[in-house]
Structure 1
Amino acid sequence: MCIICGSTGKEGIRVISEFICEECEMEIVRTDVQDAKYPYFIHQLKRIWYPKNA
């Protein structure tokens, strides 16, 4: 399941033990730091290194 959007896409990348679907990967790469979505992506990506149950 994608850590960003929750989809169960088959194509994408793994970062440590988390999956990022191809669509989210492409959107993250194209998002400018001034974009309103940028902080959301940062928040979701932090979950890779700082999981709730750690």
Structure 2
Amino acid sequence: MERVTQCCIVCGEEREVGIAICEQFICQPCEQEMVKTDVNDAKYPFFIHQMRQIWLKKNA
């Protein structure tokens, strides 16, 4: 059986496992990191920016 990979909208890596939001893929490691990231963490604005890309692509 062929393995299907998709490009993560957060990290840009090709991965097999993750979630799709509005047809945009987020890999499992990024999803887990986003969920546990505190709003005061330096990475938080980056994640918000990347998630906004999903909305922008959906409404383009």
TM over 0.5: yes
Using CA pairs under 8 Å that are at least 6 residues apart, name the structure with larger relative contact order, 1 or 2: 1
Q: Distance in 2 between matches of 1:19 and 1:50?
A: 14
- Identify, as 1 or 2, the structure richer in strand: 2
Alignment-mate amino acid for residue 40 of structure 1: F
Unpaired stretches in structure 1, ≥5 consecutive residues: none
Q: Distance in 2 between matches of 1:17 and 1:47?
A: 12
- Alignment of 1:48 with 2:54, yes or no, is yes
| CA-CA distance at 1:32 after TM superposition | 0.1
Aligned CA RMSD, in angstroms, stands at 0.6
Q: Give the aligned partner of residue 3 of structure 1.
A: 9
Identity %: 54
Decide which of 28, 31, 48 is 1:22's aligned counterpart: 28
**Number of residue pairs matched by the alignment:** 52
**TM-score where L is the length of structure 1:** 0.92
Larger Rg: 2
- Alignment of 1:33 with 2:35, yes or no, is no
Alignment-mate amino acid for residue 10 of structure 1: E
